[in-house]
Structure 1
Amino acid sequence: MRILLNSLAGVTAITIAILVYMFTYAKRRNVINHSYKVKKETIHGKELSVFFISDIHRRRIDRRLLDKVKSFGSMDVIIVGGDLAEGGVPLSRIEKNIRMLATLGPIVFVWGNNDREVGESEIRRIIRKYGGIVLDNMDTSIPSHPLWGVCGTDDPSSGHVDVKASLKNAESYRYLIVAAHNPYLFRKVEEICSPELMLAGHTHGGQIRIGRFSLHPPGEFIEQKDRAKLISNGYGTSIVPLRFGAAPESHVIKINY
Structure 2
Amino acid sequence: MRIFLNSVTVIIGMFFGLLAYMFAYAHRKKVVHHSFSAQEGPLLGKELSVFFISDIHRRRIDNRLLKKAESYGPVDIVIIGGDLAERGVPLLRIKRNVKMLSTLGPLFFVWGNNDREIGEDAIRDLLSQHGCTILDNMNTPIKTHPLWGICGTDDPSSNNVDVEASLKDVDTYRYLIVVTHTPSLFRKVEAICRPELMLAGHMHGGQIRIGKFALHPLGQFNVSEGKAKLISNGYGTSLVPLRLGAAPESHIIKIKY
What TM-score bracket applies, with the shorter chain setting the length?
over 0.9
Matches within 5 A, 1:1-257: 1-39=1-39, 43-257=43-257
What is the TM-score normalised by the length of structure 1? Answer: 0.99
Structure 1 position 43, deviation (Å):
2.7
Q: Distance in 2 between matches of 1:106 and 1:168?
A: 23
Counterpart Cα distance in 2 of 1:211 and 1:136: 38
CA distance in 1, matches of 2:42, 2:87: 47
Higher deviation after alignment, 195-204 or 142-151? 142-151
Q: Distance in 2 between matches of 1:135 and 1:49?
A: 19
Give CA deviations for 1:83-140 in whole Å, capped at 9, x if unaligned.
Answer: 0000000000000000000000000000000000011011111111001110010111
Whole-angstrom CA distance in 1 between matches of 2:127 and 2:143: 17
Gaps of 5+ in 2: none
Contact in 1 for aligned 2:40/2:225 (Cα 8 Å): no
Q: CA deviation at 1:40?
A: 5.2
Ranges of 4+ aligned residues in structure 1 off by more than 4 Å: none
CA distance in structure 2 between the aligned counterparts of 1:35 and 1:64, rounded to whole angstroms:
22
Separation of aligned partners in 2, 1:91 and 1:132: 16
Whole-angstrom distance in 2 between the partners of 1:56 and 1:220: 18
AA at the equivalent of 2:54: S
Instruction: Measure the CA separation in 2 of the matches of 1:182 and 1:149.
Output: 20
TM-aligned CA deviation for residue 172 of structure 1: 1.4
Q: What code does the residue aligned with 1:67 have?
A: K
| TM-score of the pair, normalised by structure 2 | 0.99
Displacement after TM superposition at 1:169 (Å): 2.4
The C-alpha deviation readout for 1:55-75, integer Å capped at 9, x for no partner, is: 000000000000000001111
**Aligned to 1:184, what secondary structure does the other structure show?**
helix
- Quick one: distance in 1 between partners of 2:143 and 2:125? 22
Cα 1:164–1:42, aligned 2, differ >3 Å: closer, same or farther? Answer: farther
Equivalents in 2 of 1:5, 1:116: separation in Å?
A: 49
Where structure 1 has 5 or more consecutive residues not aligned to the other structure, the ranges are none
* CA distance in structure 2 between the partners assigned to 1:82 and 1:51 by the alignment: 14
Cα distance in 1, alignment partners of residues 22 and 251 from structure 2:
21
The letter for the 2-side match of 1:206 is G
Q: Which amino acid aligns with 1:213?
A: F
1:169 & 1:28 partners in 2: Cα distance?
40
